[in-house]
Amino acid sequence: MKRISLILIIAFIGCNQPTKKTSLAAQLAKGKWIDLGHDFSEKTIYWPNNPTGFKLDTQFNGITAAGFYYSSNFFSSPEHGGTHLDAPVHFAKGKWSVDEIPPEQLIGEAVVIDVTEKTISNPDYQIRQEDIEKWEKQYDKIPSKAILLFRTGWSRFYADTEKYLGTSEKGQEAVKKLHFPSIHPELAEWLIKNREIKAVGIDCASVDYGQSVDFKTHQILYAQNIPGFENLTNLERLPEKGSFIIALPMKIKGGSGAPLRIMAWIE
C-alpha cells in the first residue's frame, strides 16, 4: 500500500517523468474504481426540515435551429443532502469552508470499520472505541493520516426514506423521529487524542446518530478541521484496509458543504 500511495502522490503533484507516469497507469490498470456515492435526483434524501431537495430542470433538449442535437439543464440543491461533504465550518466557526480544504485532506489510504452486526438490532447504535480496538486487534493500528470509513449497513435502506431516516415525515417536528446509527462523541474525542486521521465517512445520514440534539460528534471533529463524508454507499465492496480514496466535492466558495463525488481504488 505504501508503494501505491507514493505513486499516486507523485502523480497528483505533477511529476514530469514519463517512466513514472507509465508506472502509474500500469499500476492503476491492475485495480478498479468503486463509486461510493448515491445518484442525485428527485429521490435524493435530505434532512426532514429542509424545505427543498434536488431539482433538475430542462433548459433545452432537442435539435437546434442549426440542425444539431443539444442538451442543457439547470439544477439546484441544498449543500447538505445525498452523498455530500461536510466542511469543518459547518459546525466550527473559523475552520475550513469547502473551497479551503486542501486536496490532500480528501485523498489517501482508507480503512473500513464494519459495525453492521451491532446496528441490525439497534438502529440508534453509536460506534465506540471498542469497535476501533476490535478492528485494530485484527488489522493493526489505523495508519497515520488515513481516511476513516464506517460501515453501518444503512445504505441498503437508502431507497426507503422511512427505513433510512426512521421517518418519512417532513418538517421540524420530524427531526425528533430520526433513528439511524453513527459515531459516538466519545469516540470522536478519542480519535482526536489518539489517532491522526484526515477525514471520516459513514453510510448513513450524519456523523451524529439520529437522536442527537447537540451534534457533538460534528463539533468535536470539525473543530480539528476533519471533514465528514455522509450518505456513502458500496462500503461492503471495499477491503478493511488497502483501498485509496479520492473524495472531491463541488468547490463552493465559502460553502459549509457540497455534493461529493467519492471514489475508491482497490487493487
Q: Could you tell me the domains of the chain? A: 1-30 (no CATH), 32-52+79-266 (3.50.30.50)
Residue type, 50: N
pLDDT tens digits, 176-229: 999 999 999 999 999 999 999 999 999 999 999 999 999 999 999 999 999 999
Task: Report which secondary-structure segment, H or E, holds 217.
Answer: helix 216-222
Q: Are 122 and 86 in contact (CB under 8 A)?
A: no
Residues 157, 163, 169: CA angle, nearest 5 degrees: 130
Q: What is the pLDDT of residue 24?
A: 81
> Could you tell me if 166 and 112 are in contact, meaning their C-beta atoms sit under 8 angstroms apart?
no
pLDDT score recorded for residue 37? 98
Question: Quick check: 150 and 136 in contact, CB under 8 A?
Answer: no
What phi and psi values does residue 27 have, to the nearest 5 degrees? Answer: -65, -45
The contacts of residue 111 (CB under 8 Å, 6+ apart) are 135, 139, 142, 143, 146, 147, 148, 149, 240, 241
What are the residue ranges in the chain where pLDDT is below 70?
1-22
Chain centroid to CA 257: how far? Answer: 11
Can you give the pLDDT at residue 176? 97
Check residue 27 and give its pLDDT: 85
User: What pLDDT was estimated at residue 22?
Assistant: 63
Q: Which three-class secondary structure state does DSSP give residue 201? A: strand
Q: Return the pLDDT at 110.
A: 98
Distances (CA, A) of 58 to 52, 53, 68, 180, 259: 18, 16, 17, 35, 20
Residue 155 Cα distances to 198, 205, 230, angstroms: 23, 9, 10
**DSSP 8-class letter at 151:** E
Per-residue model confidence (pLDDT) at position 14: 47
Say what the pLDDT of residue 20 is: 53
Kindly state the cell numbers that stand for 84. Answer: 455530500
Residue matched to cell numbers 461492503: 236
pLDDT at residue 25, rounded to an integer: 85
107 close to 265: Cβ distance less than 8 angstroms: no
Position 21 scores a pLDDT of: 55
Taking a C-beta distance cutoff of 8 angstroms, is the pair 93, 86 a contact?
no
